[in-house]
Structure 1
């Protein structure tokens, strides 16, 4: 399991709107942004997330300097700030009628901008000012500062530019060029790098909940209206529309419940992992070999449970994404984030907790389980029994899944001295998969034959009952009813067992048997 680093889904208190979530717009293409331009990806991503916009003529104007007012509106969108209730900062040059007023007011209240008599909204933004805005707005921290030849320790922006350099948000080497103006393309690049950094750090915040940020393709979750220029080179706020599929309230609640349950299951499994890790640490502190071995086995079990919860969560996400409802975006993001964090926890536990002896034991156990399942499968094939084939099919499936988990667990660990055992397990898994397919083919054929057998029995029993009813022979009618009842009972037992076979190829046949049983029950009831 090669999982990437993840973080949680908690919103930053005080700065961000609780419950807010960023959604996609239709993918935009600007006529003056070439695909191979160094800033193309940043512009595209921020445009898709409605953080930055273009102009009515479908251009972006990447080289145009950005103003302080425009920057405020863009940063407010990137932070998902609540702009509905803001306090007037009292700038004489920022009227409350300005489209940028809410953003400027909110950011000033948060300390991103300094209060004073004038804001100078039309001034071009400098790189020094940009550094301060990004560091304060996104709460960027670094224990080290990068130094630049043109930035003195006494400069007011020394710490801000130093943090951007240390975190890799600015890629300049020797000079920072603090008094240079910031172009629209440069601001887009700086904001994207900042959000990328915030999503990769260990602090839970709103950017971790943005679904699709890392995707290369953007789903059509939002249809965006035509862009308009507000008169000073910024795009007005765009109204988001809902998903394309309408759904009733009951169905929506069901989807919400599925997302909540999936996230809760993951969190519950994570708590068990945390408890198991604590118990293992206690055993190691006491230096009790037996307790350590037992604690390691317990940890492996709960990690396996967490793996299962992750897989189920991903299946739920895939299902809900197809529904394409804006109302579910926040819960989707929470589940996405829970999955990312859980995967990270699994990786860390596998990589740092277990030693060579335990991995060797786990590989041996996996090989033994595969061998047992293989022997049962070969016996089932030889006897060609439906019941044995069904049991062997399930046993092989379970053994393969567990063996693959063990194989992936070892691959993700820091242990690298079991190459021969690793290769043996990999080969055993492949052999088991081939046998699994063979058993599956035989099982499918036997199941289809049994379904046909009971369908024919039901038809014959119904025909016998119809004949008895036509002849109005009470004795024959009684016998025919008894026979039909027995066939229905036997067919239902067979159906119950067949339904436990997880095979897509049998879905239609099983449904046909269900219908045949239902028709027979109806026929029996009508005859009374």
Structure 2
């Protein structure tokens, strides 16, 4: 009788270890009594069970609310990603024996840098794995892109102080894999339940399967020099380098249906001279559609130049309308269609509209107070970009600037050689008042070698687009 009880106890102990990674004979994946199809996690649970990644218990249950140990999580991930659990190097965790049923999985994940132990040399195979720990394991296992972490974009107030897991939790959030346990919490230190783990695993798999990896080497480049960056919540795609420093790969993650314009510029280095080149490029439309619950991503090569935003720094006064003309004065549009500016930082002081064709234009801003101001607009083609390269210059051909104080305090001014070709600079007699008239585009730095105060330099920046000249002048001191 004692022997029979011992045999049953050992059998139950073994089953507890393997039921997570092998389908229990007494619990068909289609008949978990505690996982009705109406549950939000049911699809994920049954999908993994049918693939023999996780299983149920002999009583026909799945126990969705039960927690998972760190050792069990290692076994699940090893089976999910087909890790070699036989040819492994001993990670030398104090509490993981080679005789343990999940030793190979723990060692394989440790060897791959997916999991770590505690500071005292233990792994804690029987400790419940937390939601934060599972987030980090999934990010490392699937090689998810390293989004730059920004606390202002992180909605979870309970992950802000986490030293090691806040970045990986943010990655899952940015990719749409997790929405947390509430709008403002992730519950990082809570044990993850079997149902939660199943959902996170399946979602991560699906996102990874739909991700396209672009390799610089496929275009004959050493690395990417620059690329169209997308990482906002409403973007059609996210474009994230696989590595934050070397940029040899860029991952394209579909976020919603639509089309995004993607421009890539390569970096090549001459093997003999070491000279870098950034001349080669590739441009694509990235079309994203969802079919039968799966993302379909198609890259279409293109040489298009698309409509581009023009942003005019019009200030706080209310704008009535903006007209657009050629540099020669021919009216093109009596009233252009204004649009919200893409850059929220400038919306309070800027007015924006779009230009389709390259060239030089005059934009006339009509204010409600009757004032009008002219701006020069240059729209140049950059073949490597879908957008025109936009420059603007507010018509301000002459400015007067006076820092105050006495002429003796400021001392004499010294004009650099050739400055007269850029701007005409006059100083009122026995005064610190300067009148500057722009002539051609360029920068002039006027020095005050005998200044007895803080002022050291007068910087003049002349911008010229067609016949529009914009003069800007500022004094700077020796402390900046």
Give TM-score scaled by structure 1 length: 0.34
Structure with more of its chain in helix, by fraction: 1
Task: Name whichever structure is richer in strand by fraction.
Answer: 2
TM-score, normalised by the number of residues in structure 2:
0.37
